Amino acid sequence: MIAISARSVGANDLVPRRTVSGAGGRVTPVSVTTGPDAIVRCPWGDDPAMISYHDTEWGRELRGDRELFERMSLEAFQSGLSWAIILRKREHFREAFAGFDPAAVAAFGDADVARLLGDAGIVRNRLKIEATISNARTLLALDESFSDLLWSFAPAPAPAPTSYADVPATTEESIAMAKALKRRGFRFVGPTTAYALMQATGMVNDHLAGCVARTRS
């Protein structure tokens, strides 16, 4: 029996696998795999929604205050859960949070918090809900573009990782981003979440060497 040890890579703590333990206890890093469609990808499993997200969104450059606010918020809601859960609920999140328009979310009050806590279509975590509303207000109070702020921490391009053993959970840049966001009043964005955000939005390209999506990012 092959045991898979999963590692959170970006938002996807469920699927990307850092190592495979085989006979004799040998542990080898997992690199790209060839799917049933004969396409070489990062080893994210066979869930169609996850494959589509991997192929068309994760690691692609994303800018814009609203777009990045949505992605940061969803990364925060994902903390402690799998990205597959968030992905399945994403449209519900968008409906519940007014399309993640920062101005609309910033205007949410106690009645909205109660509404969200009763919405089974999202993750009903009071701290995360209140943090999202607070973060929208903090974003609106910035003296600079939220998009420009986040992208100021993007590192220089790095060589393609060959396996998930080469992919970090945090970096100097994600630590610096998390500190800068916390200093400005943002909540639920630690260094690991910050690095997941960087991966998801193309600030770093952690598609593995040989993955079809790497050159598309």
Q: Which of 44, 58, 75, 151 is catalytic?
A: 75
83 is a catalytic site residue = yes
144 is a catalytic site residue = no
DSSP secondary structure, the chain, as one string: -PEEEE--BTTBSSS-EEEEE-GGG-EEE---EE-TTS-EE-S--S-HHHHHHHHHTTTS----HHHHHHHHHHHHHHTTS-HHHHHHHHHHHHHHTGGG-HHHHHT--HHHHHHHHT-TTS---HHHHHHHHHHHHHHHT-SS-HHHHHHTTPPPP-PPPSSGGG--S--HHHHHHHHHHHHHT--S--HHHHHHHHHHTTSS--PPTT-TTTTT-
44 is a catalytic site residue = no
Q: Which of 44, 53, 151, 195 is catalytic?
A: 53
Q: Which of 44, 58, 83, 151 is catalytic?
A: 83
> Would you name the residues annotated as active-site residues?
53, 75, 83
